[in-house]
Chain A
């Protein structure tokens, strides 16, 4: 039997990084995700696997250290919360342009501005619509449990390297701070330099005599060549959109109404479903796990089978735009949200469904 531990979501990210065989973590503290670096520092992964953990002087420095490590083909990561992630947007755009894989964790707090340290999901637009400049996407994973916080570290690295693109774990203060049971996996080895040279020949890990210099840059001043760079990146995104969509569907088979929610809101919706079914209301849940690529087709199909959808987010209504695009007006869609760090209660969410969808 595998080892079971009671862990905070943030601690699960940190242990998941060590066990996934990550090479480096560069970060700067901010609530509600500071336990990630605290845990890594306390665990001394340099002694366990050789992994480097470094507190940078700022978030801007962190993401650029990640750029450097990723350029060498190393599995490197950073984490922060909303205001810190805003500071990293330039670096993320550069990495997408230079086709560099990395993992970034955002444990979202309420904004705008410094906002609050309490949970929020108001960074959806920033994450999936491109917080930085240019035509790029972040592969975005939305964990809804502490186990998924742990599991998505290795999944995130896998997808980032498969598509040579930054990957974001979009979490929030609820999932980061709560404790749940986690099944801890085996220690994966860190990649050797020989492995990296063989499997990621684009990396700048030292030139071998048999090939020209590798150059990693997002700068290409010749427009026709820059367009080719963009076409290549876009072609990758089209593959991602067909191959990598992940979602969870709960009790949708007989559902008259469907909640659409991710992360902690999806957990709250599950309780609201239980309360609703006790009252005889047949409710299902569609939980996107990848926010990019978004589960467009499954939502489109579901739209033809249900009477209404309520999109529940701790924001003023962001993911609802993607839901509406997916369902193409085939079903009534409304949004319910709280913001500023307020977590909606399950009964409040059920009321919203009754008022806005069933009675609306």
Chain B
């Protein structure tokens, strides 16, 4: 098993920490992982993306140009990464703020209303975990107990009180994921 994922959106949406929690959970489940961010002058409101690879084998390149899954959280990222999903691959996106919906016919596309759901439930801080839930629904590559361990490792101790809210958000994400276009 090798899963090559791009997660992309605005800075401040928790894109990098979503990737980190997923990667750390992979470490806890004894997988090989890599986490490669776009680093640089990005900040809140700018674009941010991270490539996460989770595999049973040694990982070759941490930098990729084709992905099994793209998780897309703003229009700029849609413009950049819709074309980078491998044929037959998966695209999950939050339609909030999307003006040009994806057009690919050769990949499976799902919507997740994570912004709306997180705001409604007062869970804006764990918006990214709603998104993670959507991903895990489609690709259950990490078991819930290892996600729990990944959260423990990724979050500073002073925020461990937030772990149940994070896990609740993940469950919410699994519920609200809906198909947009299926191959």
Contact = CB atoms under 8 A, between A and B. Distances in A.
Interface of A: 4-6, 31-32, 117-118, 173-174, 177-181, 264, 267-274, 343, 345-348
- A-B pairs, top 6 by smallest CB distance, nearest first, are A270-B60, A271-B61, A345-B65, A179-B35, A271-B60, A178-B36
B65 A348 contact: yes
Nearest to B28: A4
Interface string B4-42: 000000000000000010011001000011111101110
Contacts of A272: 61
Contact of A181 (B32, B60, B61, B66): B32
A117 B42 CA distance: 12
Contact of A177 (B37, B59, B61, B66): B37
Nearest to A182: B27
A243 B40 CA distance: 40
- Most chain A CB neighbours (cut-off 10 Å) among B23, B24, B39, B59: B39
Contact of B40 (A118, A343, A348): A118
Contacts of B144: none
A180 B33 contact: yes
A81 B34 CA distance: 23
A268 B35 CA distance: 14
A174 B36 CA distance: 7
A6 B61 contact: no
A272 B60 CA distance: 9
Nearest to B33: A181
A117 B40 contact: yes
The CB with the most chain A CB atoms within 10 A, among B34, B60, B154, is that of B60
Given A6-B23, A117-B40, A180 B61 contact: no
Report the interface size class on chain B: 20 to 34
Contact of B34 (A117, A178, A346): A178
A347 B86 CA distance: 13
B143 interface: no
Interface in B24-82: 24, 27, 32-37, 39-41, 59-66
B78 to A, nearest CB: 20
A117 B37 CA distance: 13
A6 B36 contact: no
B153 interface: yes
B64 A345 contact: yes
B24 A6 contact: yes
A188 to B, nearest CB: 24
B70 to A, nearest CB: 15
Interface core residue of B35, B41, B66, B154 (most chain A CB under 10 Å): B35
Given A178-B36, A264-B63, 20 more contacts: A4-B27, A6-B20, A6-B27, A31-B39, A31-B40, A173-B39, A174-B62, A178-B34, A181-B33, A267-B61, A267-B63, A268-B60, A268-B61, A270-B61, A273-B60, A274-B60, A345-B64, A346-B60, A347-B65, A348-B65
Of B32, B36, B61, B154, most buried by chain A (CB within 10 Å of CB) is B61
Contacts of A179: 20, 23, 33-36
Contacts of B35: 6, 178-180
| Interface-centre pick from A4, A117, A179 (highest chain B CB count, 10 A) | A179
Contacts of B154: 6
B27 A174 contact: no
A32 B33 contact: no
A265 to B, nearest CB: 10
A64 to B, nearest CB: 30
Contacts of A264: 62-63
Contacts of B33: 6, 179-181
B29 to A, nearest CB: 11
A144 to B, nearest CB: 10
